[in-house]
């Protein structure tokens, strides 16, 4: 039976990232994916490669600093896939975050980004504001502009997986895992691939199954420690109005941030709006966009872009965030910690909870650091901060 150093469950951005980092470190790697690459949360995100300006309000400074650093790395490694875009923050008479609040946030964001030129911001001059994408000008006081990254999350995940495979990682997909058995040397996994029963062994298992992580624990033959988490649904819609020239960072009636952004969909640049945030209970496979979420997003759009009265929704999708349950359970979903939690569910069995698309590479490097002591010495073959990620998957 084939034995791998590292077996990764899930080919979302974290599974692909861990596979790449492990293969680069010289380990033999197998990834098992139940659908296809990036078919889970990693194709349902807001597609931002960003520090997360809004996370400053919940004091997640180290997450913002780390993410801004990773944004710079990804702009360098994947220039076809990650592009800096202008972000506009309009402030109206009734906006709850006042200009001083926004300025302080943007100054802090620049500092956490190392005062690099890509992190500088400015107030847009009135003349330019007049020409901004049909933005509502009634009671508009100021508009700020800063820069952050945008990607195609699925294509980025595919590119990272391809890089992992080029380094020797193997992928079985689609598979159905039926049993994870603890054995003396590590783990033995039983699964079906295209109707054929297969069994492999691995010294270490990385559970990167996104919203399904705790479901994976149920397949393990011994008792496993799971963290209590909540799944939070976030929906986006793509509409057929002219795409904006940049990304608008807007305040909804409940004071949450909602983005209106240009996004390439089926070969055309369209307008994408998102996201919502609501607690999800149920099977992660059954998540669906609700009418209430669509109304919420359309209302935000119509408030800020009143010129466009007839809106056709051409695509909608919902994803699930994994957020820790006990940590700050009295905090709003919006302000809960967004960093990844690396949880040792069993010796040599690491489960990844939550996290951000942006920070996948640094998270994956941290995973390798954690599992290294349990693995035999291998000769490193590459460094993930030097591996070019191409849009071309052929």
Ligand X SMILES: Cc1cc2nc3c(=O)[nH]c(=O)nc-3n(C[C@H](O)[C@H](O)[C@H](O)COP(=O)(O)OP(=O)(O)OC[C@H]3O[C@@H](n4cnc5c(N)ncnc54)[C@H](O)[C@@H]3O)c2cc1C
The binding site for ligand X (CB under 6 A) comprises 9-15, 32-35, 39-42, 44-48, 177, 208-212, 216, 234, 275, 319-321, 352, 355-358
In the complex with ligand X, the residue whose CB is nearer, 124 or 358, is 358
CA atoms of 308 and 304, how far apart (whole Å): 10
Rounded to the nearest 10 degrees, how much is the dihedral formed by the CA atoms of 208, 212, 215, 220?
Answer: -10
Tell me if 367 sits within 8 A of 18, measured CB to CB.
yes
CA atoms of 354 and 343, how far apart (whole Å): 11
In the complex with ligand X, the residue whose CB is nearer, 6 or 209, is 209
Containing H/E element for 234? strand 229-239
Residues 222-253: b if buried by 16+ CB within 10 A, e if exposed: eebebbebbbbbbbbbbbbbebbebbbbbbee
Min dist CB 372 to ligand X, Å, is 21
Min dist CB 350 to ligand X, Å, is 13
Min dist CB 125 to ligand X, Å, is 29
CA atoms of 288 and 318, how far apart (whole Å): 6
Min dist CB 102 to ligand X, Å, is 20
In the complex with ligand X, the residue whose CB is nearer, 11 or 140, is 11
Min dist CB 281 to ligand X, Å, is 15
In the complex with ligand X, the residue whose CB is nearer, 203 or 356, is 356
In the complex with ligand X, the residue whose CB is nearer, 48 or 143, is 48
Tell me if 206 sits within 8 A of 9, measured CB to CB.
yes
CA atoms of 153 and 284, how far apart (whole Å): 19
Min dist CB 138 to ligand X, Å, is 29
Contacts of 62 (CB under 8 A, 6+ apart): 339
User: Closest Cα to residue 247, out of 101, 145, 387, 338?
Assistant: 145
Min dist CB 379 to ligand X, Å, is 28
In the complex with ligand X, the residue whose CB is nearer, 5 or 33, is 33
In the complex with ligand X, the residue whose CB is nearer, 33 or 251, is 33
Min dist CB 274 to ligand X, Å, is 7
In the complex with ligand X, the residue whose CB is nearer, 241 or 364, is 364
Tell me if 9 sits within 8 A of 15, measured CB to CB.
yes
CA atoms of 354 and 330, how far apart (whole Å): 19
User: Closest Cα to residue 23, out of 223, 183, 161, 196?
Assistant: 161
């Amino acid at each position: 039976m084939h034995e791998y150093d590292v077996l990764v469950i899930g080919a979302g951005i974290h599974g692909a990232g861990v596979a790449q980092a492990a293969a680069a470190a010289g380990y033999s790697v197998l990834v098992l994916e139940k659908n296809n690459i990036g078919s889970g949360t990693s194709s349902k995100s807001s597609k931002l490669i960003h520090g997360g300006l809004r996370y400053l309000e919940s004091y997640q400074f180290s997450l913002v600093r780390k993410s801004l650093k990773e944004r710079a790395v990804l702009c360098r490694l994947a220039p076809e896939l990650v592009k800096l875009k202008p972000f506009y923050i309009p402030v109206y008479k009734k906006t709850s975050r006042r200009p001083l609040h926004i300025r302080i946030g943007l100054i802090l964001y620049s500092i956490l980004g190392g005062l690099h030129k890509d992190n500088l911001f400015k107030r847009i001059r009135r003349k330019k504001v007049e020409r901004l994408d049909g933005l509502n000008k009634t009671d508009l006081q100021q508009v700020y502009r800063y820069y952050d990254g945008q990607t195609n999350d699925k294509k980025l995940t595919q590119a990272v997986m391809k890089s992992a495979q080029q380094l020797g990682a193997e992928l079985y997909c689609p598979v159905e895992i039926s049993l994870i058995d603890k054995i003396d040397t590590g783990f033995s996994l039983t699964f079906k691939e295209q109707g054929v029963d297969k069994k492999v062994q691995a010294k270490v298992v990385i559970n990167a199954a996104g919203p399904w992580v705790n479901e994976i624990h149920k397949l393990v033959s011994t008792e496993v420690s799971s963290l209590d988490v909540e799944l939070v649904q976030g929906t986006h819609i793509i509409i057929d109005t002219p795409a904006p020239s940049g990304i608008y960072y807007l305040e909804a009636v409940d004071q949450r941030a909602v983005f209106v952004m240009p996004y390439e969909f089926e070969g055309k640049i369209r307008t994408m709006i998102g996201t919502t945030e609501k607690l999800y209970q149920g099977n992660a496979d059954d998540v669906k966009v609700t009418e209430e979420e669509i109304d919420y997003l359309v209302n935000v759009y119509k408030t800020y872009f009143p010129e466009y009265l007839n809106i056709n929704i051409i695509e909608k999708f919902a994803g699930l965030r994994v957020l820790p349950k006990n940590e700050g359970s009295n905090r709003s979903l919006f302000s809960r910690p967004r960093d990844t939690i690396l949880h040792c569910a069993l010796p040599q069995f690491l489960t990844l909870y939550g996290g951000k698309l942006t920070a996948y590479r640094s998270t994956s490097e941290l995973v390798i650091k954690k599992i290294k002591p349990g693995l035999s010495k291998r000769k490193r073959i590459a460094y993930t901060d030097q591996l070019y990620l191409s849009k071309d998957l052929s």
